[in-house]
Structures are given as C-alpha cells and as structure tokens.
Amino acid sequence: MTIDRRGLLAGTAVLGAALSVRPVVAATPGVGGDGGAGALPMPVPSDLLPEPLPVIDRNRTRMERGWLFHEGDVVPPRPQGHHETYLSVKAGNAPGAAALDYDDGDWAAVDLPHDWASFQPFVETANVSQGYRARGIGWYRRRFRLDPADRGGRLELHFDGIATHAQVWINGNLAARSWSGYSAVIVDLTPFATFGDEANVVAIRVDADAMEGWWYEGAGIYRHVWLVRRAPVSIATDGVHCDPRKGPDGWHVPVTVTLDNVGPEAAAVTVGAALIAPDGRRLGGALAAGRAPPLDTGQVTLDLPVADPALWSVDRPQLHRVVVRLEHGGRAVDERSVPVGFRTIRFDPDRGLFVNDRPVKLKGVCLHQDHAGVGVAVPDSLHQWRLERLKAMGCNAIRCSHNAPAPEFLHLCDRMGFLVMNENRIFNPSPDYLAQLEWLVRRDRNHPSVMLWSVFNEEPMQGTPAGVEMVRRMVAAVKRLDDSRPVTAAMNGSFYEPRNVSQVVDVMGFNYFQADYDRFHAANPRLPVTSSEDTSAYQTRGAFRTDEAAHIHTSYDEEAADWGGTHRATWKRIAERAFVAGGFVWTGFDYHGEPTPHAWPTVSSFFGIMDLCGFPKTAFDIHRAHWTDDPPVVSIAPHWTWPGREGEPIKVFVASNVPRAVLRLDGKIVGEGPVDRIMGAEWTVPYRPGRIEVEAWDGDRIVARAAHETAGPPVALRLTPARVRMRGDGEDAQGVTIDTIDARGRHVPTANLPTRFTVEGGSIIGVGNGDPNSHEPEKGQARRLFNGLAQIIVQSAAGTGPLCIRAEADGLRPAAITMRRVAAPVPAQVAAMADESLVRNWRRSPRLAARPEPTLTPADGDNNSWDLVRSGTVTLADPVRGWRVYRSRVVPRRRLAARGGTITFEQVTGIAGLWVDGRPVATKPDPTPGPLTAPLPAGEGPHVLVLIVEAAPGRESGITGLVRVR
Ligand code: GAL
C-alpha cells in the first residue's frame, strides 16, 4: 500500500465531513489508502454508490417480502380411507404444507433472500464441510393476487437459487422440482393460476440436507425471486442469444430470439433488434418476421453488423446493449435489453490466453459465494464490494467454483472487467443434469465476462473411458448452445491415462499438480493449458505465528496444503510459463465450512487471500504486488505492536512491484535491498516499539511507502464504512469495519475485545470477524474483535435520511457514524396477501326428487356418483324441482379452533339449509342468489359442512360464490 500523506489527509477529511465521525478519529499515519494488509487495514470510505444493475426484462417483479417460513419438515398424515386416497393424488390437492388451505398462522415472517443455515449455531455433530451447522428441511409459503388483466398471458416464477433440493407447488399442484442449489427454478404457473380475489398460494419444500458440495452451501431461498407476467405471445425466458462475433468481414451480433405462445392460435410476429453503443447511440437495427405456434416455441434470427465497435476488455469493460422488441397484432408486446461486449477470446497452446488478440494472463481467484454474517444470502451490493476488493488487488479473473453464480454477479463482472470461468456443478450427462448445464449456458452465454465453460471439478472418473464419454456429451451440449467459448474441465490427476478427459476438452484445466505442467505440455503440445485451481495456502488474518493446537496459521505465506503451494511459489510457476494461461487461487475469500487442515472447533476455511469479512491477509499484498503493474505498491508485514517481545528478532516481509526497498525503524535504516516481485523480500529486525516503514525505490525515486506504528492500549472504538452514502432502496448493504484505536488514534491490531452496536435507518443483517475458530452467532448486535477487526453488515432501510451506527465496548470511548441514505428507487414487490381460509372443494349429490336427510353420504368406495365441485361453480338448471346435497370438511385455523368463527357463503343460489357437524345452523329461504352466514363452533375439527340446496324447475342453483371461514 502506498502511504501518501496528502491523499491520506484528504481522505480523512472526506471521512470527517461526510460521516460526522466522533473526534477520536485522527489523521493517523498508516490509516488510509486502499486497504491492503501490509499497512493498516482501513480503506478510505468511498463516496460512490453502487450503480443499479441492468434491467433486462421489465416483465419481472420481485417477490421477496412477506414470505412465511417453517424450519423443519411438515409431514402430512397419510390418507386412510379410499376416497381420501383417491382425492389425495388429484391435481390441486397436494397435502400438508403444500395444500392451498394449510394453516401457516404460526410460521415466521421472513424476507428473501434468506439463508436459514446462517442463523444456526455451530455444533460439533453437524457436517464439517458445511461448516458445522444444521441445515435440514424447511418450508416457505406465500399468497399473492393476480390481476384479471393478466389472464391469458404467460406467468412464471423465477427463483434464482434455492439451496438445495426443492419442490414448488402452485395452488396445490407440484409445478417444479429442482435438483440443484445453484440453478434457477423456473416455474410456469400459467395453467395453475387464479385471478381476482382468490389468492394464489406458492408452497416450497426445501431439502437442505441434500449436499452438492463439500463447502458451506446455505439453506433456503437465497437469491432473488421474481414474478414474471408476459403477454400471451412473448420472448421466452433466457430467450435472447446475442453474443457478438468477429467474422472475416468484421463484427456483427447474431441475434436468435426464442418465442413463446400460450395463446390459442398460431401467432405471426415481428421481431426488431437494435444495437445500442455504450454512450446510448443506436448503431444499427434489423427486423424479421416470425411465427409461434400455440403452446409451442418459435425462433427468429437476425443479424446486426457493426463496424469498429468499442471493445470490451478487463481494463475497459465497455458494454453495448442489444434491445429486442416483439410486436404482435400491431402492438409491442415484449422487450429485452441485454448487455453485450465486443471481445475475442483465444487460448493459444504456447502463449496462453488472448483477449482481443492481446495476451492476458489470468490473475484469478476461485470463489464460493458466501460472506460473513449473511451466509449465501449475499446482497448484490456486497457482491460488488467483494469484486471491488479483488479488483484493487489486480485480480482479473474469477472461477465460480464449483457452480453457477448469481446472475447479478455476472452482470457485475461484465461491468467491472473480470474474465469468468463459469462452472457446472454436477458431473452427469443424464437428462436431469444435462438440463442444468444447458440452463447455465443459455442463461450466461451473452456475458462478455464469461470466457470459459467448465463441465466439472476434480472427478474421480476423469481418467476412465466412461468419464471421457460423459464429458464428450456435456461438451457437445455446450457447443450446441454456444460455439464461441472453449470448454474445460478442472482435472486433478489422470493426465496421462490412455483415455482421459483432457482429450475431449478445448483447454486443459490443472487443479494443482504444478510439477506436471511441463510434462503435460510436452506430451500435448496442441492443447492450451490453464491452472484452474492452485495454491490452497493457509493464513489466519492478522496472525504471524502458527499455533497448531489453537488452529492458527501464520500469514507469512509459509504454509499450504500438501497438494498446493504458497501464494508466491505457486504464482512463480504460472508466471514463468507463457503456455499456462494463468491461474485461479484457491480462494479469493475465506468461506464457511471446509476448515482444512483442521476440524472442530474450526468452522471456516483458511485458504482465502482475504478473510470471511473481506479483510486482507498478507496474501492480498503479495498478489497485489504480483498482479498490479501500475501504480507502484509496497506493503510490510507484520504489524508493529508486539508488547512483551522487545529485543526479539522479528521477520519483516515486504511485498512490492518495485525492485528495491529500504526498511527503516524510526527513521534508521534496518534493511535495504532488492525485492523480488514474486517472492518479496525479508529482513530480520529486533523488535522495539516505534514506526517501521518501507520505502519502495524505483531508480533514485521513492515511489511507494508503507508503515506500521506500535499502538498503545485501545482507548476508543472506531467505525469505518466502505461507503459514506447508501442507496435508500432497502437493499443496499455494506460491511462497516469496527476497530479500536489508541490514545493517538492508531489502529490497535491486537485488540480482541467484545463490542456491541445498534443501527438506526437500517438493519444489521450479519456480523463477522474473520476468525475461523469463532462460534459467536453471525446474527445480532455484538461481536468480538479478532486481531483488531470485526465487521457489521448493514442494510439501508427504504427512504432517505441518516443511517447511524453506534458501537460500544466496556472501558472504551464509544464510536458513532452517520451515513447518508440517498433517494433510490425501491424495487417494486408483488404484494403478499394475508391468510384467508376458503372452503373450496365440495362433493355434490345427484339431483334428488325429495328433500334428503343431511346425513346422506356417498359410500367410501364411490368415486363417481357424487360430483367433485369447487365453490363458485353453477349447478345447471333441471327441468324439474330437485334437491342436492353439498358436503365438505373444514379444519379451522388454530386460532379459530380455540374460540370458533364464522362461515360465510358469498353467494348461494336456491333455497338452502346449512348443517355443521350434524346440527342445523342457518337457512336461506330466498331462492335468488344471496349470501349465507353461520357460526362455526370452536373445536379442532374437521367440521363437517352439509348444505342442502333446493332448485326450482328451470333454475340454476348451487354454491355460486367463494366460501370463507373467519
Ligand atoms: C480442491 C477442491 C476445492 C477445495 C480445495 C481445498 O481439491 O477443488 O473445492 O476443496 O481442494 O484445497
């Protein structure tokens, strides 16, 4: 990190003005800059707001508020009688918590995204890989209304991610099953929908005992959820493929549009496509006619040639847009606006990756998707912040290991300039799993950031004929959907088997096994090679001595898994070989679970370049020196607060992209010499409190500095946000750093004390401190500092005004900061409807010539002589007078069972009498349509309802309106 005093003071001034920080914050040497670990880890808050993500499809409305959640399974009683069994397997009659009329009155109200595992305590009996937290089964339910104007159109629900297996019922019908915690669950609810006052009920059973990974996968509906309302003839979901191509005659955008038609007739349509430049200019357009048969899809292709477009690259990620418009019957009925980038990708077997014909070394990290405090329910803005941290380190590539990322994540990669290796989860070419791979390619093939598909990670069958056959099929499936990007597989062995997977992919992906690079390349000189995964080094953030018993790992970059290597040694092997396209460090951030090389009580990983909160370890500075060419950077490790170690020799490690360093202690030179850009430099300095500083010399100029000062005991808390402003959209979230400072305002890197905090104008959605051994809850209003730091993840409340955080710790001066919430559109939400108990299903007797007894019941084995009718159904007129019996059963809501309620027929047609549990309770003497109301007695039920309706000759009759129980 460069310590430029002017920049530092300016930064602090911004901080002071915008944050109204208590006066304890001073312009402290070493506080500021970009937040490496090698000087004090306190980035200057930014004044920028996260930009809204692109809206591709305006037919989608979020459906994330007002859900009900039940932790644990709900097992309905098995049917006993014959007719009950008969009914139980009929459409619309899903039992238990999937049922339309299930009593969810005591379920918890939750908003999505939601990861219930992140609320769980750590327990030794739970799965180590998943981070020692119970996952289990959970249920979600929600009611919503559909406007009658939506009738006839196409309706879908999109769940961008549910961990892990899920079943989705719409109005009592099983409408989707998902076998992947990373694929979207796309539910076509068109045929099941009801319109008007009757609620649609969506019920979801989530099985999070199912595992797809050996890392923390979370539990629940953890990504965005949308209700999609389209015209009867529309553009299909993920139905625009518009990935630019460079051909012999220059650039063009081939556009393929998939159409959907839920209407009754074939539709003749017109599709228009336009290419919009980054500055908003229209660069060209095309029109084509198409046809969509009813209940089928159609396809229209167009082509948009363009001369000399602004190119997309990692340094200048310029995005165009393809706007596709669908016209039907002379009206515009649908539209998509898809960001695209013009760039070429080429892997060369000898020279690695070329983007736009320029060599680009992949300086990549593997990422899991969780963060401290929030688990896998990561707000979009937190994804953005994590990517900013990676960008600040010089990282240019991300491997989404080992699964499809959130769609927002890829939009951010497009916008920020990352190259993405997009990886399939389950290695299996059978139809269910191939569908997951195809979905991934279809969803993500327009992203300029996506440069490589990966069909698997480390599969034991990688060196077998069967494994080869499986990969061949999966590669073919990818190529059918996207012929522009190469396909890889991340192999960890079997490289030389006579039949192995490297023979059927475009790019060889090496997980570890760096010693094999040269041999493999010599044996396969035509096959491009990348490291798909490497390093697996261990570091505990802020620790500089390994303590095996305490599960703490030094951050001097000395320790790694047997199969990996230190950050430096690993990158050296990649950097020295032009034919290796680059690498992906395992991992960019620590993640919950996989506490290798330990187990309980350790609950999260040590592999991260940053910890679980995104606080940098020494690895951050090491990679920044490797990966940034400009500006010059230098860092110094460890910190310089070691009370009790006076006189002891301390190893001082310097990482820099500048060739020479001078190390000073209180101004006096204590080390001097060359710095290897990859390996860094080391000196041993006897410890004495003071200021240790490194100067990075380029020729005769100091181009960068970093320093640490010995801190005294902590006297005050300090809060530092990443940003001084937040979007008042109710979603914007950021991590706020909490640390302590000494009497002179210096960060105290050794403080490990408990803190408490409160927030106004927002909420705390999680807390963390990056300690892999901590069992403190990740929710709540308290957190112990770990090696000087903790993080509060705050989310803005909708609206403008201040967002204030106050923090306290015993014996220290408290801290308070105020951030500004600025006006920002609050994403519209589909309103949630309150619970309403409806009696929907009746058995209706045949017409009877004489008034029947209310005890008249069909035989249990008789499925046929009594009809099954729904409330609201008219019974057609008969030529003669007659009576019909309607029977139903009501299990009252728990609160009604205690004190009783009212049953209301909105409309009954005919003369009617009502019996509840065999007792007459109401009559309706007037034959014209009208309401009928009666008390429902207390008691758990089921209560038996019997309505006898008398119809005059030639007159309609029956239960012609909704029936409510209140
Ligand atoms: C690899 C694997 C990763 C992670 C890593 C830990 O084998 O692909 O998911 O487990 O090892 O070193």
Decide if pLDDT at 44 tops 90.
Answer: no
Query: Among 369, 370, 458, which residue has the most ligand 1 atoms within 8 Å of its CB, making it the best to mutate?
Result: 458
Q: How confident is the model at residue 36 (pLDDT cuts 50, 70, 90)?
A: low
Provide, rounded to the nearest whole percent, the portion of the chain with pLDDT above 70: 96
- C-alpha–C-alpha distance, residues 25 and 815, integer Å: 9
Look at the block and give the residue holding tokens 């305002």: 745
- C-alpha–C-alpha distance, residues 942 and 962, integer Å: 19
- C-alpha–C-alpha distance, residues 576 and 187, integer Å: 49
Which tokens is 833 given? 């409807």
User: For residue 224, how many other CB atoms are within 10 A of its CB?
Assistant: 22
CA 422 – ligand 1 centroid, Å? 16
Residue 362: half-sphere exposure toward Cβ, Cα within 13 Å: 35
Q: Which residues pair with 253 in a beta bridge?
A: 304
Which pLDDT does position 941 carry in this prediction? 87
- C-alpha–C-alpha distance, residues 807 and 813, integer Å: 9
Q: Could you identify the atom of ligand 1 that is nearest to the CA of residue 401?
A: 9
Residue-wise pLDDT tens digits, 904-956: 999 999 999 999 999 999 999 999 999 999 999 999 989 999 999 999 999 99
CA 475 – ligand 1 centroid, Å? 23
CA 23 – ligand 1 centroid, Å? 46
Residue-wise pLDDT tens digits, 342-384: 999 999 999 999 999 999 999 999 999 999 999 999 999 999 9
Q: Is 907 helix (H, G, I), strand (E, B) or coil?
A: strand
The sheet carrying 67-71 orders its strands as: 108-110, 67-71, 137-144, 200-207, 165-170, 173-178
Alpha carbon nearest to ligand 1 atom 6, residue: 536
β-bridge pairing 582-586 and 634-637: unpaired
Q: Could you identify the atom of ligand 1 that is nearest to the CA of residue 536?
A: 12
Which pLDDT does position 35 carry in this prediction? 54
CA 241 – ligand 1 centroid, Å? 33
Cβ atoms of 277 and 253 closer than 8 Å: no
Residue-wise pLDDT tens digits, 762-818: 999 999 999 999 999 999 999 999 999 999 999 999 999 999 999 999 999 999 999
Contacts of 528 (CB under 8 A, 6+ apart): 347, 348, 349, 352, 353, 486, 506, 507, 508, 579, 581
CA 847 – ligand 1 centroid, Å? 70
Element (H, E) at 215: none
Decide if pLDDT at 440 tops 50.
Answer: yes
Lowest model confidence (mean pLDDT) among 8-12, 600-604, 727-731, 874-878? 8-12
Decide if pLDDT at 606 tops 60.
Answer: yes
Query: Among 130, 536, 567, which residue has the most ligand 1 atoms within 8 Å of its CB, making it the best to mutate?
Result: 536
Q: How confident is the model at residue 15 (pLDDT cuts 50, 70, 90)?
A: very low
Which pLDDT does position 11 carry in this prediction? 30
How far, in Å, are 486, 541, 620, 919 from residue 616 at the CA level? 33, 7, 5, 73
Decide if pLDDT at 33 tops 50.
Answer: no
Cβ atoms of 286 and 272 closer than 8 Å: yes
Asked, as a colleague might, if the bond just before 76 is cis with ω within 30 of 0, I would say no
CA 767 – ligand 1 centroid, Å? 26
CA 596 – ligand 1 centroid, Å? 10
Alpha carbon nearest to ligand 1 atom 4, residue: 586
Please state the φ and ψ torsions of residue 61, each to the nearest 5 degrees: -125, 135
Cβ atoms of 368 and 401 closer than 8 Å: yes
Cβ atoms of 453 and 485 closer than 8 Å: yes
Give strand ranges (E) for 622-659.
Answer: 634-637, 649-656
- Length of the chain (residues): 966
Q: How confident is the model at residue 9 (pLDDT cuts 50, 70, 90)?
A: very low
Q: Could you identify the atom of ligand 1 that is nearest to the CA of residue 561?
A: 12
Query: Among 216, 399, 594, which residue has the most ligand 1 atoms within 8 Å of its CB, making it the best to mutate?
Result: 594
Which pLDDT does position 37 carry in this prediction? 65
CA 533 – ligand 1 centroid, Å? 8
CA 162 – ligand 1 centroid, Å? 23
Average pLDDT of 620-649? 97
Provide, rounded to the nearest whole percent, the portion of the chain with pLDDT above 90: 94
Q: Could you identify the atom of ligand 1 that is nearest to the CA of residue 492?
A: 7
Alpha carbon nearest to ligand 1 atom 11, residue: 536
CA 597 – ligand 1 centroid, Å? 12
Contacts of 689 (CB under 8 A, 6+ apart): 640, 641, 643, 646, 710
- C-alpha–C-alpha distance, residues 638 and 617, integer Å: 10
Residue-wise pLDDT tens digits, 65-113: 999 999 999 999 999 999 999 999 999 999 999 999 999 999 999 999 9
CA 512 – ligand 1 centroid, Å? 9
Which tokens is 781 given? 């209003």
Q: Could you identify the atom of ligand 1 that is nearest to the CA of residue 564?
A: 12
CA 402 – ligand 1 centroid, Å? 10
Alpha carbon nearest to ligand 1 atom 12, residue: 536
- C-alpha–C-alpha distance, residues 129 and 653, integer Å: 33
Task: Give Cα 716 distance to the centre of its chain.
Answer: 36
Q: Could you identify the atom of ligand 1 that is nearest to the CA of residue 533?
A: 8
Average pLDDT of 895-900? 92
Contacts of 290 (CB under 8 A, 6+ apart): 257, 259, 268, 269, 270, 271, 298, 299, 300
User: Which DSSP string do the residues of 482-535 spell out, in sequence order?
Assistant: -SSS-EEEEE-S-TTSSS-GGGGSSEEEEES-GGGHHHHHHH-TTS-EEEEEEE
Look at the block and give the residue holding tokens 């890989």: 129
How far, in Å, are 138, 142, 169, 259, 298 from residue 190 at the CA level? 26, 17, 13, 16, 18
Decide if pLDDT at 420 tops 80.
Answer: yes
Decide if pLDDT at 34 tops 60.
Answer: no
Contacts of 569 (CB under 8 A, 6+ apart): none
CA 752 – ligand 1 centroid, Å? 31
Cβ atoms of 666 and 647 closer than 8 Å: no
Residue-wise pLDDT tens digits, 525-571: 999 999 999 999 999 999 999 999 999 999 999 999 999 999 999 99
Closest CA to 806 of 716, 713, 711: 716
Q: Which is more confidently placed, 724 or 35?
A: 724
Which pLDDT does position 13 carry in this prediction? 28
Query: Among 533, 535, 584, which residue has the most ligand 1 atoms within 8 Å of its CB, making it the best to mutate?
Result: 533
Q: What is the mean pLDDT of the chain?
A: 95
Q: Could you identify the atom of ligand 1 that is nearest to the CA of residue 605?
A: 6
Contacts of 96 (CB under 8 A, 6+ apart): 74, 75, 76, 102
CA 801 – ligand 1 centroid, Å? 45
CA 586 – ligand 1 centroid, Å? 7
- C-alpha–C-alpha distance, residues 44 and 33, integer Å: 6
Q: How confident is the model at residue 39 (pLDDT cuts 50, 70, 90)?
A: low
46's torsion region: left (phi>0), alpha (psi -120 to 50) or beta? beta
Q: Could you identify the atom of ligand 1 that is nearest to the CA of residue 563?
A: 12
Q: Could you identify the atom of ligand 1 that is nearest to the CA of residue 402?
A: 9
Average pLDDT of 670-692? 98
Pocket of ligand 1 (CB under 6 A): 214, 457-458, 492, 511, 533, 536, 561, 586, 594, 596
Which pLDDT does position 622 carry in this prediction? 98
Residue-wise pLDDT tens digits, 279-301: 999 999 999 999 999 999 999 99
Closest CA to 616 of 677, 555, 675, 537: 555
Query: Among 586, 587, 598, 609, which residue has the most ligand 1 atoms within 8 Å of its CB, making it the best to mutate?
Result: 586
User: Which DSSP string do the residues of 50-96 spell out, in sequence order?
Assistant: PPPPP---TTEEE--SSEEEEES---PPPP-SHHHHHHHTSTT---G
Residue-wise pLDDT tens digits, 185-201: 999 999 999 999 899 99
Q: Could you identify the atom of ligand 1 that is nearest to the CA of residue 458?
A: 8
